[in-house]
Amino acid sequence: DLYQTPDVSKPRYVRVNTLKLGVDSALIELGKQYVKDNLVPDLLKLPPKCDLHDHPLVVSGCVFMQGKASSMVAAALDPEPGWEVLDACAAPGNKTVHLAALMRGKGKVIACELNKERIKRLENTVRLSGAHNIEVLHGDFLSLDPKNPLYSKVCAILLDPSCSGSGTVAERLDHLLPSYATGQAVNIDERERLNKLASFQKKALAHALCFPQVERIVYSTCSIHQIENEDVVKSVLPLAASHGFQLATPFPQWYRRGLPVLEGSEHLLRTDPVEDKEGFFIALFIRKDRTTIQPL
Ligand code: SAM
């Protein structure tokens, strides 16, 4: 599974599940070698080669094994307690339960997932997190009708669609080739796979832009390829503008931004598979003219 490849040589991060445990309590239980991350709240950095898979705090769902880049996605969306948020492609649910924690268990997270097998993993993650405000929805995000009253209160969407996963395996590939990020270095089969993924990603992002009450959308991949990242964002810019959305800057203090292949690339965020240990991409769209549903 590309999404959960363990590699103990990397510095590990754990995200404290604040639905179950406070960050300071976690620090006391885990010990002094852990430090708070300077960017993502509730994220703790631990020394390389430290493996927590069997730790009681992990087994009990008080902390989740989640990388920094992956944890930046829900934090970039920054949902408020009381909001209704749609996680469009949710399994195994790491970002779903992060959303619930950021919302302090208030409001609702609708977690949509197409794949029946992965629904089970999603449900396990939700159970482990202790969140009571997550509704798991087995279905195709592209088939959800944005005008259906069921989604009329959705004010934020997290879209983390299927992707090549190249950002998590790129260390094993030749990431130093400049053509790699742009996709020129991949073979024909891989190129075809990337084209198919990109086609779905574009459709899914365009679909997210059509939900009438949504005021924030975060789009993310664990891919380093321009075709799944900047090109997807570029393809929806006219539609986004027609619905009143603009690109916003997640984590403005982060230095690594999008490839300069579209206007506004400085708003986009990239992490590097080698230097940052995982290659992720994050884009944030914001629409200002919506009346935010007041937090509970
Ligand atoms: N956000 C998840 C997390 O952090 O744990 C990882 C999501 S994974 C990158 C993408 C997921 O989207 C897969 O589980 C896949 O089955 C699901 N998916 C693919 N196409 C979908 C669709 N049309 N509607 C809903 N889910 C879909």
Indicate the pLDDT class of residue 172, thresholds 50, 70 and 90: very low
Q: Give percent of the chain above pLDDT 70.
A: 88
Token output for 59: 């087994």
- Say which residue the tokens 């969306």 belong to: 77
ipTM over the 0.90 cut-off: yes
Rounded Cα distance, 278 and 53, in Å: 19
Q: Are 158 and 88 in contact (CB under 8 A)?
A: yes
Summarize pLDDT for 190-202 with one digit per residue, the tens: 889 999 999 999 9
What is the pLDDT, as a whole number, of residue 111? 98
Neighbours of 182 (CB within 10 A): 17
Q: Ligand 1 centroid vs 24 CA: distance in angstroms?
A: 32
Q: What is the pTM of this model?
A: 0.91
Mean pLDDT of 256-265: 96
Q: Are 82 and 103 in contact (CB under 8 A)?
A: yes
Domains of the chain: 2-67 (3.30.70.1170), 69-287 (3.40.50.150)
| Beta carbon of 155 within 6 Å of any ligand 1 atom | no
- Say which residue the tokens 């403005």 belong to: 252
Summarize pLDDT for 262-275 with one digit per residue, the tens: 999 999 999 998 88
The overall average pLDDT reported for the chain is: 89
| Beta carbon of 90 within 6 Å of any ligand 1 atom | yes
Point out the ligand 1 atom lying closest to the alpha carbon of residue 162. Answer: 10
Rounded Cα distance, 292 and 180, in Å: 41
- Binding-site entries for S-adenosyl-L-methionine: 89-95, 113, 140, 160
Mean pLDDT of 38-67: 90
| Beta carbon of 67 within 6 Å of any ligand 1 atom | no
What is the pLDDT, as a whole number, of residue 288? 83
- Say which residue the tokens 């949902």 belong to: 79
